[in-house]
Amino acid sequence: MLSIGDPAPDFTLSDADGNSVSLSDFKGQKVVLYFYPKDDTPGCTKEACGFRDAQDDYMDVNAVVIGVSPDSEKSHQRFRDKYDLPFLLLADRERQAIEGYDVWKEKNMYGKKYMGVERSTFIIDEDGILLEIMRKVKVDGHVQSVLASLS
């Protein structure tokens, strides 16, 4: 289980355009790494658009926003383009980062149990150390609370 003060687990995943992106590429910047269940669903869209709308505020505090889900590069491309998302969306089909950050959880909807991504956000400092861990995130107010943690 990850704890505040631990090194953030590194990973290399593909972005929406098929480029390889590693967490270690962002040394020297704060990283808001957020995991979400599925592209273009109501909660995930609201969260992504919230990060989009606050992009300048995140840039002001030298923070980059990165979204990760198990969706494909093609799905990320459609999601990014549809909502004009200015940050990276990484495809984690093999659940490398998802499992590394322990966000693959049993979920329950309408009495059915299944495995899926637990909406979670990790704030990582310029040296790659976990500053904050937010699990079971509720979308409303989340973008602002993450920003407050960075300020």
Which amino acids are annotated catalytic? 44
Interior angle at CA 83, CA 46 and CA 33, nearest 5:
60
Question: Which has the closest alpha carbon to 43: 124, 117, 122, 146?
Answer: 117
The continuous run of DSSP H or E covering 80 comes out as: helix 73-83
The continuous run of DSSP H or E covering 42 comes out as: helix 42-53
Kindly give, in sequence order, each residue whose CB lies less than 8 Å from that of residue 10, ignoring residues fewer than 6 positions away. 22, 23, 24, 128
User: DSSP character for 125?
Assistant: -
